Structure 1
Amino acid sequence: MKILKIILLSILGLALLVLIIAFFVPREMNVQKSVVINRPVEQVFDYVKMLKNQNEFSVWMTIDPKMKKAYEGVDGTVGAITKWDSQHNDVGQGEQEIIGIEENTRIDYELRFIRPFESTAQAYMITESTSANQTKVTWGFHSESKYPMNLVQKVIGLEKMLGDQLQQGLDTLKGQMEE
Structure 2
Amino acid sequence: MNILFIILAIIAAIVVLLLLAAAFAKSDYAVEREITINKPVAQVFGYVRNLKNMDNYNKWVMVDPMMQKDYKGEDGTEGFAYAWDSDNKAGRGEQVIKKIENGKRIDIQITFVKPFAGVSDSYIITEPAIDNSTLVKWGFASKMPYPMNAILLFMDMGEMLGKDLVISLQNLKQIIEKQP
Rounded Cα–Cα distance in structure 2 between residues aligned with 1:73 and 1:23: 41
Note the alpha carbon deviations across 1:124-156, whole angstroms, 9 max, x for none.
000000135210000000100011211224424
Following superposition, the deviation at residue 4 of structure 1 comes to: 2.1
Give the 3-state SS of the residue equivalent to 2:111 in structure 1. strand
Partner of 1:91: 90
Q: Is the 8 A contact 1:153 1:159 kept in 2?
A: no
Q: Is the 8 A contact 2:26 2:152 kept in 1?
A: no
Partner of 2:127: 128
Q: Is the 8 A contact 1:41 1:127 kept in 2?
A: yes
Q: Is the 8 A contact 2:29 2:157 kept in 1?
A: no
Partner of 1:104: 103
Rounded Cα–Cα distance in structure 1 between residues aligned with 2:158 and 2:44: 26
Rounded Cα–Cα distance in structure 1 between residues aligned with 2:78 and 2:131: 27
Note the alpha carbon deviations across 1:16-39, whole angstroms, 9 max, x for none.
111112222211010000000000
Q: How many residues align?
A: 178
Note the alpha carbon deviations across 1:98-125, whole angstroms, 9 max, x for none.
0000011000001011111221110000
Map of 1:1-179 to 2, 5 A cutoff? 1-88=1-88, 90-131=89-130, 133-179=132-178
Give the 3-state SS of the residue equivalent to 1:53 in structure 2. helix
Following superposition, the deviation at residue 170 of structure 1 comes to: 0.4
Provide the aligned C-alpha RMSD in A. Answer: 1.3
Note the alpha carbon deviations across 1:41-72, whole angstroms, 9 max, x for none.
01100000001111110001110121011111
* TM-score, length of structure 2 as denominator length: 0.94
Structure 2: which amino acid aligns with 1:79?
A: G
Structure 1: which amino acid aligns with 2:114?
A: R
What percent identity do the matched residue pairs reach? 42
Rounded Cα–Cα distance in structure 2 between residues aligned with 1:56 and 1:66: 14
Rounded Cα–Cα distance in structure 1 between residues aligned with 2:28 and 2:153: 11
Q: Is the 8 A contact 2:129 2:135 kept in 1?
A: yes
Following superposition, the deviation at residue 174 of structure 1 comes to: 0.7
Gaps of 5+ in 2: none
Higher mean C-alpha deviation, range 92-101 or range 109-118: 109-118
Rounded Cα–Cα distance in structure 2 between residues aligned with 1:114 and 1:4: 38
